[in-house]
């Protein structure tokens, strides 16, 4: 038989049209979250898996949000590689889409549609890689598992979180995920979001009688200004992370916008919501603020909370409630899978992607929390969450090739 890697690349080339149709059809299967009903898209993937005689089962802790788990053993014992991708996508509003958000239209070398970059391209790459490696499983070592999950976009409990808690057979020894990263970066970690709600209450009164009550909205505006001090908390990342980030600045800024390399190492504060007041001529007696604080690797939640509590000691009118928290996560920036990804991208495209920390969150963190090395390599996040979201077909096929070859490299090595 020919060199297996050449064979795998030949299959991608021969199946080019089928792979494009597969992604475009996946986009047509609507699955916005909220509400998060993914049944149509799960059926679509199951048809593909069935047609290629691939082993899989459905795990549905919620009837509208099934998860697909497929797994097979290879010819010889070895390590266990796991793929993870989510099926649900952001919802669609009244944005002026040029082609319908659920059309999967292929035009000028691009596939358009809601969720095509985040992350149907990456999930399709996982499913396709699973199929190709199954064909040559006798030549490989270890075990391969595919997890295609629901309930990611709202950080819900019925998708990857459920699998990680209740099905330890999906943990494995290494995880590969195709969330958007740009072809130029490999993500080995991510920042951690801490969402906090502040409630401000005062008696309130007629707008002409400002001597009778403090204004809840004015207190809110002072509090928002004071909260900014959390962004001054310095990160103290582990040495390997610090070293990995040195030299990644230019690539990160190019990929995610000028300033991204600074944002990645800093605590950031976003006041995502302010709600207060009833009418222009009333002194508001109530205001609510929701703050989205992002922790870089090397900052712990108690450091943030101590600072917030210090601020709140000056505001007796304010109560605080945590809405959501995921700690920052990271794994070895020089791990084996990183080396495979780098050398395959170098061979395919002539450049080496850089290992970076991601600004946004992904399910990959759940594997890192269990000390399983977990990496993200996917397409560019073009117009992600906006109208006219699209993926470049060549970039999609590049992600497929990179996943196929890197998974092959990992599984062709004996334990």
Residues that bind Zn ion (CB under 5 A): 118-119, 179
In the bound state with Zn ion, the residue whose beta carbon lies nearer, of 179 and 392, is: 179
Q: Cβ 54 to Zn ion, closest distance in Å?
A: 23
106-107 vs 110-112, strand pairing mode: antiparallel
Shortest Cβ distance from residue 341 to Zn ion (Å)? 19
Least Å from the CB of residue 263 to Zn ion: 19
Radius of gyration in angstroms for the set of CA atoms belonging to the chain, rounded to a whole number: 23
Closest approach of Zn ion to the CB of residue 189, in Å: 16
Give the separation between CA 70 and CA 64, rounded to whole angstroms: 19
**Closer by beta carbon to Zn ion, 154 or else 263:** 154
3-state secondary structure of 129: helix
Query: Smallest distance, Å, CB 88 to Zn ion?
Result: 9
Based on CB atoms, which residue is closest to Zn ion, 88 or 392?
88
Smallest distance, Zn ion to C-beta of residue 41, A: 14
Q: What pairing do the DSSP bridges indicate for beta strands 282-283 and 329-330? A: unpaired
CA atoms within 13 A on the CB side of 304: 26
CB of 361 to Zn ion, least distance (A): 9
Name which of 389 and 392 has its Cβ closer to Zn ion.
389
Minimum CB distance to Zn ion, residue 71 (Å): 23
Which CB atom, from 179 or from 395, has the smaller least distance to Zn ion?
179
Least gap, CB of 111 to Zn ion (angstroms):
17
Residue pair 133/105 in contact (Cβ under 8 Å)? The answer is no
First to last CA, the chain: 24
Of 119 and 297, CB closest to Zn ion = 119
- The number of C-alpha atoms within 13 Å of 47 and in the hemisphere containing its C-beta is 10
- The nearest distance, CB 228 to Zn ion, in angstroms, is 29
Question: Which is closer to Zn ion, CB of 118 or CB of 395?
Answer: 118
Q: Which is nearer to Zn ion, 78 or 159 (CB)?
A: 159
Q: Which residue has the tokens 């090395």?
A: 373
Q: Which residues pair with 287 in a beta bridge?
A: 200, 276
The H-or-E segment that residue 188 falls in is: strand 185-190
- Of 179 and 307, which CB lies nearer to Zn ion in the complex structure? 179
Of the pair 307, 389, the CB lying nearest Zn ion is at 389
């Amino acid at each position: 038989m020919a060199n297996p890697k050449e064979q795998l690349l030949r299959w991608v080339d021969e199946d080019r049209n089928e792979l494009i149709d597969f992604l475009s059809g996946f986009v047509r299967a609507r699955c916005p979250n909220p509400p998060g009903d993914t049944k149509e898209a799960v059926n679509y993937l199951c048809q593909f898996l069935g047609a290629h005689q691939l082993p899989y089962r459905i795990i549905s802790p919620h009837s509208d949000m099934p998860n697909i788990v497929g797994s097979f053993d290879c010819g010889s014992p070895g390590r266990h590689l796991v793929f993870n991708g989510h099926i649900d996508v952001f919802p669609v509003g009244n944005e002026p889409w040029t082609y319908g958000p659920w059309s999967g239209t292929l035009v000028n070398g691009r596939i358009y549609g809601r969720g095509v970059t985040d992350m149907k391209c990456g999930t399709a790459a996982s499913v396709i890689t699973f199929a190709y490696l199954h064909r040559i499983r006798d030549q490989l070592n270890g075990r391969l598992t595919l997890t295609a999950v629901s309930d990611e976009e709202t950080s819900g409990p019925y998708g990857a979180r459920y699998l990680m808690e209740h099905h330890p057979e999906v943990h494995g020894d290494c995880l590969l995920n195709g969330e958007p990263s740009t072809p130029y970066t490999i993500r080995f970690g991510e920042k951690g979001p801490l969402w906090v709600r502040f409630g401000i209450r005062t008696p309130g009164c007629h707008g002409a009688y400002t001597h009778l009550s403090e204004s809840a909205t004015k207190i809110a505006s002072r509090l928002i200004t004071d909260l900014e001090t959390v962004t001054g908390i310095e990160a103290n990342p582990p040495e390997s992370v610090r070293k990995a980030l040195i030299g990644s600045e230019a690539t990160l800024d190019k990929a995610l916008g000028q300033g991204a390399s600074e944002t990645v190492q800093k605590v950031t504060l976003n006041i995502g919501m302010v709600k207060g007041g009833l009418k222009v001529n009333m002194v508001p007696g109530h205001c609510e603020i929701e703050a989205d604080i992002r922790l870089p690797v090397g900052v712990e939640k108690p450091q943030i909370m101590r600072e917030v509590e210090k601020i709140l000691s000056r505001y007796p009118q304010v109560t605080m409630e945590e809405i959501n928290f995921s700690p920052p996560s990271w794994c070895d920036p020089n791990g084996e899978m990183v080396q495979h990804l780098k050398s395959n991208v170098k061979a395919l495209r002539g450049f080496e992607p850089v290992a970076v920390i991601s600004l946004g969150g992904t399910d990959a963190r759940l594997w890192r929390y269990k000390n399983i090395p977990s990496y993200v390599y996917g397409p560019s996040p073009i117009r992600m969450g906006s109208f006219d979201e699209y993926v470049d077909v060549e970039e999609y096929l590049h992600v497929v090739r990179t996943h196929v070859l890197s998974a092959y490299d990992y599984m062709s090595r004996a334990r």
